[in-house]
Amino acid sequence: MARIADVLTAGPTFSFEFFPPRDDDAQVELYNTLRDLQTLDPSFVSVTYGAGGSTRDRTHDLVVSILNDTTMTPMAHLTCVAHSRAELADILERYDAAGVENILALGGDPPADGSEFRSELEHAIDLVELVRSVGNFSIGVAAHPEGHPRSPDRISDRKHLAAKLALADFAITQFFFDAEDYFGMIDELADLGVTKPVVPGIMPVTNVSQVTRFAQLSGAAFPTDLAERLHAAGDPDEVRRIGIDVATELCRTLLDGGAPGLHFYTLNKSPATREIYQRLASDGYVAATRAS
């Protein structure tokens, strides 16, 4: 087990994100993915939290299982939405007691079913403050290179992110497709005095409709030229090849530009992530001890 804030000081990190399985078949697929990706010796892995806390127990159980049953360092996502302060404190105390040291503090999305909800903490920065008060966690927050979809403008978005990073240890970005969006955000944060590491999030495009939907939800712009190439390809294998090529080149550009690591949104599948990782290892971007 390691604190991610410490891991980030040792050189570029390579990390993977999963979501809790919804049924037995999904659980089998996830555990196969965990087994495959564990061989890559990731710097850490993260587990998402459903809208409105809908996967509260499944997230906790998966994080603790990864901690106890694998060699990987887990980070638990936690959101403000639909929770009281006392509920959040209880969740954090359970993680602390289990030995979990890393939390990604998020504002969160409202329940997917449109049900009424009440949250005592309004913003992610409030949750960061609570996490700090409960235990000695390493705390991450979310960043949006193109701006949070609910931010009124880019300037206010960067100010809010800078305020979060003043209290947190690091950030992980939503996925994006243009490296300049990431580097522009880093420059804007530097102008605000922020030097904490911001790890770029990567989602390889292997399914056009799925990633397009995710991009719309997250506010990420899906490049027109990439969309045209993928739709013109037609064949699923060709779509996958293009998606992996584009993601690999984005990873190279980000690491060459000084990004502190890469965080892969796996969608609980390993092949695309493993292929990109092995290409980066062949190019010398991955330390020999991790690539072996």
Catalytic residues: 17
List beta partners, residue 74.
45
Beta carbons of 50 and 20 less than 8 angstroms apart:
yes
Kind and range of the H or E run holding 264? strand 261-265
Amino acid residing at 95 = Y
- Report the candidate in 98, 171, 185 with the shortest Cα–Cα distance to residue 139: 171
**Residue closest to 16 by CA, chosen among 225, 210, 204:** 204
| Cβ atoms < 10 Å from Cβ of 10 | 10
The 8 Å CB, 24+ separation contacts for 125-129 are 125/160, 125/163, 125/164, 125/167, 126/80, 127/78, 127/79, 127/80, 127/88, 128/164, 128/167, 128/168, 129/167
Count of CB atoms within 10 A of residue 54's CB?
17
Alpha-carbon torsion 185, 186, 188, 192, what sign? positive
| Pick from 73, 77, 67: nearest CA to 3 | 73
CA distance 58 to 81: 17
